[in-house]
Amino acid sequence: MGAGPAFAAVQVARSSTASDLAALRRAESLSTPTALARTKTLPLAEALQPLVPGGALQRGTTVGVTGPGSTTLALVLSAVATAEGSWAAVAGVPALGLAAAAELGIALERLLVVARPPDGSWAVVVAALLDAVDLVVVRPPARLASADARRLQARARERGAVLCALGGTWPQPCDICFTVTAPAWVGPTGAGSGRLEARQVEVVGSGRGAASRERRLPLWLPGPDGAISTVAAPAATHPTQPVPAGLAAVS
């Protein structure tokens, strides 16, 4: 690819006919650093893309996730990035269901878990994780100093990592906030038959800057086929009705 654009540019300098102009445009498109934009973001599952500006997680941002289903949403946020070669870490969630993480698409071989960071060195541990991996999911301790939180956010910005705080107790404003509301499970059909199969939720995305416009998205978290997908309009009107697997998922 290296010789192509230069050759085209020389051609244009001699005579500027229509075909040479086309060659110049092609050369420009080839030399545009398209890879740069990608390296500044982490990829996101397709169903979640309408929730964030640009459709991908900007590196260096802090994401807050709250509400019933927040753990699932945080895992889904990490899934595509780990599958594409990024590392993720989870700190301070000793009860994390790893089987669920695998089902939601996280590449387990690129996941680090620090189950119980000691209270005294919590911020140090998270800072070290932000140095080491691209995406850190934390559940902050009950009394996290505001200054520590600010310092960790600055560290994430500096290292180009994404910090994802669970539980809504993060003492600083987050760049993007996701609130999971209105969970409705599908599966049990009464008298003990059936099993939990799928959950519909509405995810509300808000935040600062480009993310400040509130976005609402009905989601299957997870869907009847195990995947995360947006809810089709008819299904959203009867969220508590059991939906056959074939009808529900619309990607």
Partner 1 sequence: MSGLGVRTLVAWCPDWPVVAAGFPVGEPVAVVHANRVVACSVAARAEGVRRGLRRREAQGRCPGLTVVPVDVDVEARAFEAVAAAMDALTPRVEVVRPGTLAFPTRGPSRYHGGDEALAALVAGLATGALPGGAPTARVGVADGPFAAGLAARRAPGDHADPVPGAEVSRGPHPPAPGIERRILVIPAGASAAFLAPLPVATLDAVGAVRPDLTEVLRRLGLRTLGSLAELSARDVLGRFGPEGERAHRLARGLDDRPPALRTVPPELVVSIELDPPVDRVETAAFVARTLAAELAGRLAAQGLACTRVAVEAETDHEEARSRLWRSEGGLGPDALADRVRWQLDGWLNGPWGDRPTGGIRLLRLVPDQVVADDGRQLGFWGGAAAADERAARGVARLQGLLGPDAVTVPERRGGRAPGERVVLVPAHTVALGTARPRPDPSVAAPWPGHLPAPSPTLVHAEEVAAEVLDVAGAPVGVTGRGLVTAEPALVAVGGDRPVEVRMWAGPWPADERWWDPAAHRRRARIQVVLADGRAHLLTLEAGRWAVEATYD
Nearer to partner 1, 23 or 101 (CB): 101
- Using CA atoms, how far apart are residues 227 and 245, in angstroms rounded to an integer? 11
The total number of residues written for the chain in this structure: 251
251: three-class secondary structure by DSSP: coil
Nearer to partner 1, 93 or 211 (CB): 93
CB of 136 to partner 1, least distance (A): 10
CB of 74 to partner 1, least distance (A): 9
- Using CA atoms, how far apart are residues 160 and 117, in angstroms rounded to an integer? 22
Q: Where are the alpha helices (DSSP H) in 15-89?
A: 18-31, 34-39, 70-83
CB of 124 to partner 1, least distance (A): 7
CB of 91 to partner 1, least distance (A): 10
Q: What is the DSSP letter of 190?
A: B
Handedness of CA 206, 209, 211, 213 (dihedral sign): positive
Nearer to partner 1, 10 or 191 (CB): 191
Nearer to partner 1, 85 or 209 (CB): 85
Token duo for residue 82: 């780990």
Among the listed residues 54, 53, 69, the one whose alpha carbon sits nearest the alpha carbon of residue 218: 69
Q: Which amino acid is at 232?
A: A
CB of 250 to partner 1, least distance (A): 19
Cis preceding linkage at 222, omega within 30: yes
Q: Which amino acid is at 9?
A: A
CB of 80 to partner 1, least distance (A): 15
Nearer to partner 1, 69 or 205 (CB): 69
Judged by the rule CB under 8 A, the positions of this chain that interact with partner 1 are: 68-72, 75, 85-87, 93-103, 108-115, 117-118, 121, 124-125, 128-129, 131-134, 182-183, 185, 187-188, 190-199, 222, 226
Per the CB < 8 A criterion, the answer to whether 44 and 15 are in contact is no
Nearer to partner 1, 9 or 96 (CB): 96
